[in-house]
Amino acid sequence: MEMIWAVVKLAVGFVLLIKGADFFVDGSSAVAKKFRVPSMIIGLTIVAMGTSLPECAVSVTASLNNNNALAVSNAVGSNIFNLMVVCGACALFAPLAVQAGTLKKEFPFSIVCAALLMGLGYRGMALGQADGILLIVLFALYLVYMIFAAMKARNLSVKEEDNKIIPMWLCLFYIVGGGAAIMFGGDFVVDGATVVATGFGLSQNLIGLTIVAMGTSLPELVTSIVAARKNEVDMAVGNVIGSNIFNILLVLGVAATISPVAFIMENIFDIFVLIVMSVMVWNFTWSKKEINRTEGIIMLFFYAAYMIYICTR
């Protein structure tokens, strides 16, 4: 009976994720147009934080329950999934154009965040409360920078016509309602998938890196694919990069501030894999300023190889 209920929660969670992401993208895109803010910045902030709510909930709950192994594996596994699967899958629908400014600032900053996490974790094989506070402060500075970037972009942009732009109250309803559906949908998927995985005897660390990481990253996947299909490719890329920064600086920062997060060597290696894959994707986008279908297939192949490795190590 428990297994049947878990499958039902999985199905309901997928429906909430898909419909919630659809509304969330529509509302966020409309807000961007109304206030003349580039879709990339909306993706790096509002959409990224909204779709990262499941990772935040899982990691903070794990920290409160002194189950920090799940907190680390969830955040790192989600970032690898975001980068390789979300971007790779979106590139199958449409080439993912990346702005030059993003390649020079936000993308390398996400790599620096991963390197910082690896350094802090390796130093004492744990993230202490001081480390958590440092990560939160860096996130606050990043958020301030994004706000100033949005204000500058708005001042430089030309005002668009307001026709066919939905009213502000409806935009907010789409964003809040879509975000809530994404959050609850992610929870349902994670809960159901965890019960199914446990029923097959998988270890908790493996569940964190695979089932839970994939489940909490489903909002990013669905939202980015929906954005790509609606030709909001800037929002799709911004969602992934912003979510990865959010997961490291705020999610793990809050988790470490609540309770020290212990590291094992497997965590260090997984973060190293994240850095290598990030550099690879950054190199893909540097010359042509986009991720094409062939590169998307290569990224999905590398993620599949990584999944085989962690399931057999």
Segment 193-246, tens digit of pLDDT: 667 767 777 665 666 666 677 766 766 677 677 777 766 656 667 778 888 898
DSSP of the chain? -HHHHHHHHHHHHHHHHHHHHHHHHHHHHHHHHHTT--HHHHIIIIIHHHHTHHHHHHHHHHHHTT-HHHHHHHHHHHHHHIIIIIHHHHHHHS-EE--HHHHHTHHHHHHHHHHHHHHHHHHHTEE-HHHHHHHHHHHHHHHHHHHHHHHHHHHHSPPPP-TTPPPHHHHHHHHHHHHHHHHHHHHHHHHHHHHHHHHTT--HHHHIIIIIHHHHHHHHHHHHHHHHHTT-HHHHHHHHHHHHHHIIIIIHHHHHHHS-EE--HHHHHHHHHHHHHHHHHHHHHHHHSEE-HHHHHHHHHHHHHHHHHHHH-
Look at residue 163 in the predicted model and tell me its pLDDT: 45
Taking only the tens place, the pLDDT of each residue in 122-145 is: 988 888 889 999 999 998 898 888
pLDDT tens figures, 140-190: 898 888 777 766 665 555 444 444 567 888 888 988 888 788 778 767 776
pLDDT tens digit sequence for 5-20: 887 887 787 778 767 7
pTM for the full model?
0.74
Provide mean pLDDT across the span 275-284. Answer: 91
Mean of pLDDT over the chain: 78
Per-residue pLDDT at 277: 93
